[in-house]
């Protein structure tokens, strides 16, 4: 059984945002945002190759 070191980063909600734009009926755009969210990234190295991303929008 091999054990690999992992690097984990946690989203800082005070310095991050989750925003979106949706095109409505080809005429206009609706914009929105999520005010409450959590997120993290776990990778086997200091880069994002094969990293696992998880986000929870509330």
pLDDT digits (tens, 9 = 90+) for 6-51: 788 899 989 999 999 999 888 899 999 999 999 999 998 777 888 9
17 within domain boundaries: yes
1 within domain boundaries: no
pLDDT confidence tier of residue 58, bands split at 50, 70 and 90: confident
Query: pTM score > 0.75 for this model?
Result: no
Task: Round to whole Å and give the CA distance between 13 and 1.
Answer: 36
Q: How many domains are there within the chain?
A: 1
Which domain, by its residues, includes 25?
Answer: 7-57
């Amino acid at each position: 059984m091999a054990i690999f070191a992992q690097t984990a980063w946690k989203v800082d909600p005070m310095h991050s945002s989750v925003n979106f734009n949706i095109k409505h009926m080809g005429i206009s755009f609706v914009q929105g945002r999520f005010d409450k969210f959590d997120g993290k990234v776990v990778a086997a190295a200091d880069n994002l190759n094969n990293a696992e991303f998880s986000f929870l929008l509330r």
